[in-house]
Amino acid sequence: MTAPLLANDPTATPPAPVDRITVVVRRSFGDRVFHLSARAAGTLTLALMVLVFYFLLNASKTFFKVESFSKFMTDQAWVPDEANAGVGSLLFNTILVSFLGVIMAFPFALAAALYVSEYAPRRLRRSLTLLLDLLAAVPSIVFGIWGFFFLMPRQRHLSIWLSHELSFVPIFKVTDGQYADSPFIVGTVLALMIIPIAASVMREVFSQAPPVEREGALALGGTRWGMIRSVVLPFGRGGIIGGMMLALGRALGETIAVTMLVSVVFTRSTHILHQGSNTISALIALDWGEASPIARSALMAAGLVLFVITLLVNVVASMITSRTRSGSLTEI
């Protein structure tokens, strides 16, 4: 090394220190109003979230007066009028159903995203992208009624088959022949609902993978799959995780489609093919109409738990997506 080749070479002589220049910005009245109103809009968003949390907490206080918070978090029953209610089984069932949906959705979402961004012919790619985004916008109630009228009677056969042939797997065990409204069916409908959502996030990230690296991988003699595995998937890892977490957030909070399919139970059972499923949002939607004030307060408390969980999932999802390399590309 004779001469510094790079500007940040440690051997280079440091540049002469520059005197600090202080720039004073005196904004005009119009600009001050503009800054203030834009900041107000941003602050309002923050405030709205805090308000939602505060009012849900406030509303559930009525119920926490008759039952302690720790009992609420573990209690499996739901008889709020007798101060005997909790999210012990509710939360379990909510998470069970959502994870079933996400697990079933994952391979399909990944395949759909990879197909659209990597394998589809150029002419088809554009319309498939459009189709994927359109499907992500289909109202959930449509999935709900389709699941209820079309899927439930048909998926019964698959449930029966699974429980007969694979009964040695504990989660597939069904002894009394009750197959309708199972977590499996609810999870399937949720999976179909979240596949387009997750797939369009993933496709978006995959398509941003740098073309130079793709060409490099192919030029080194890699196969298409080799290129995808070594360039596209590592690049899109943040998008895959973020997309699935976003989908998980949707699945956790999905109300109407689930409400149409569940038959409410308050037990913790991992027999996913057996009748009986439940989620927090479905319980709120089903019970709200006939609930007494104290029961509504209990439902609000359950809603608060759901709020905190979805908030966490979404914040983590957005942080993962923005921290990885694929997310940083959108920063200009």
Q: What x-and-dash track marks residues 212-231 binding another protein by CB under 8 A?
A: x-xx--xx---xxxx-x---
**Cα 207 from Cα 220, distance rounded (Å):** 21
Radius of gyration of the chain (CA): 26
Residue 65 contacts another protein per CB under 8 A: no
Residue 38 contacts another protein per CB under 8 A: yes
Q: What x-and-dash track marks residues 83-122 binding another protein by CB under 8 A?
A: ------------------------xxx-xx-xxxx-x-xx
For the CB of residue 168, give the shortest distance to another protein in the complex, in Å.
16
Among 30, 70, 175, 176, binds another protein (CB under 8 A): 30
Residue 291 contacts another protein per CB under 8 A: no
Residue 166 contacts another protein per CB under 8 A: no
**Cα 316 from Cα 187, distance rounded (Å):** 23
Contacts of 85 (CB under 8 A, 6+ apart): 63, 67, 72, 75, 77, 78, 79, 295, 298
Identify which range of 15-23, 66-74, 124-132, 174-182 contacts another protein by CB under 8 A: 124-132
Among 61, 126, 268, 323, binds another protein (CB under 8 A): 126
Beta bridge partners of 84: 79
Residue 79 CB-half CA count within 13 A: 4
Which residues in 300-319 contact another protein (CB under 8 A)? 300, 303, 306-307, 310-311, 313-315, 317-319
**Cα 203 from Cα 132, distance rounded (Å):** 9
Identify which range of 6-14, 177-185, 189-197, 261-269 contacts another protein by CB under 8 A: 189-197
Cβ-based nearer residue to another protein, 12 or 50 = 50
Residue 27 contacts another protein per CB under 8 A: yes
**Cα 256 from Cα 144, distance rounded (Å):** 7
Which amino acid is it at 68? Answer: S
For the CB of residue 230, give the shortest distance to another protein in the complex, in Å.
12
Q: Could you tell me how far CA 27 lies from the centroid of its own chain?
A: 42
Q: How far apart are the first and last CA of the chain?
A: 35
Identify which range of 8-16, 36-44, 78-86, 264-272 contacts another protein by CB under 8 A: 36-44
Neighbour-count burial of 122, counting CB atoms closer than 10 A to its CB (0-12 exposed, 13-18 middle, 19+ buried): exposed
Beta strands in 77-140 (DSSP E): 78-79, 84-85
For the CB of residue 242, give the shortest distance to another protein in the complex, in Å.
10
